[in-house]
Amino acid sequence: MIASPPLPPRVVVYEGRGSTPFDPGERSRLLAGLLDRGYSVVRAGAGRAEAGAATAFIVLGCFGGAPPEVGDAAGRDVAVCDITGRSADEAIALVEQRRDGRPMNRPDAAGPGQWKPWFPVIDLARCTNCMQCLSFCLFDVYGVAADHTLRVENPANCKVNCPACSRVCPEVAIMFPKYHAGPIDGGPVSESDVQREKMKVDISALLGGDIYSRLRERSAEAKQRFSRERSADQALAERRRCLTKLADAAAIPREVLDALPSPEEIQRRTEEAARRAEAARVAQGARAAQGSTPAGTT
């Protein structure tokens, strides 16, 4: 779960009794403008609208100078804004003012506290809980649920634009909905996709277990070469060559590879992840065995 600021206020665009409808073009611009700034919006008045889980609401309506008194039985903060005669931009500015500078994640902003939602999503219909992704990820994105199945535990730890874990999944069960192409984006999975992924995993096994063990070997080789040749430039060039190969093979962005921890730390994290994955597999096996025990024998 991401460490996020409180939920932003939900905006209710009200056009029911006691208000006059918006101009259709302005209504459309108002809705798009609010969404592009990160607000959830409900259009109400022309039918049913859910109150939702928000802790605060801002109600926008053309009330002709007489906005109604509104209370909320659940004690939530409700602000009513009369936007009669205002443009969509002016109404949005009013919402921003009402928000009073409270922090929120925003699509239209960058910098500290802002987060692009990039993280893996599991297709539960395909996932076999083999835990390869958990073993692979160095950033603790994955965890194990109480029922010993795979869980995306820390989505915010994921490295933006890196879909590498989806490449090690033999079942093509890992999606990144903001990726640009299928099946990683959640598009249909073909039999050839499955065969290709299985082949990759097999090649990885033939290379010596996993991609990180190969990385460690290359790092050790580079260290040896450095001590022999005393050339920092050559060592650096070797590291770059190795990282470029990895980046190409697994579509890992260069900045993610550059940010990898030391080989020793990679080893520690890999071993820890492997331990967790193995514990989950053992627990799954025990549960399956329990489930297959004939009734009345326990």
- Residues near another protein, by CB under 8 A: 1-2, 4, 7, 24, 27-28, 31-32, 34-50, 52-54, 105, 107-108, 115-119, 121-124, 152, 155-156, 175, 177-180, 182, 185-188
105 near 7, Cβ under 8 Å? no
> CB of residue 2 vs another protein: minimum separation in angstroms?
5
Q: Smallest distance from the beta carbon of 255 to another protein, in angstroms? A: 18
Beta carbon nearer to another protein, 166 or 204:
166
State how far the Cα of 186 lies from the Cα of 176, in Å rounded to an integer. 7
**Structure tokens of 33?**
């403008």
**Bridge partners of residue 11, in order along the sequence:** 41, 58
CB of 136 to another protein, least distance (A): 19
Least distance to another protein, CB of residue 151, Å: 8
Residue 68 or residue 117: which is nearer to another protein going by CB? 117
Hey, what are 64's tokens? 């002709």
CB nearer another protein, residue 181 or residue 289: 181
Nearer to another protein, 42 or 59 (CB): 42
Q: Which is nearer to another protein, 169 or 246 (CB)?
A: 169
Cβ proximity of 208 and 247 under 8 Å: no
Closest approach of another protein to the CB of residue 221, in Å: 39
Task: Tell me which amino acid residue 283 is.
Answer: A
Phi, psi values for residue 11, rounded to 5°: -100, 130
- CA gap 34, 12 in Å, rounded: 11
Pairwise CA distance, residues 122 & 111, whole Å: 28
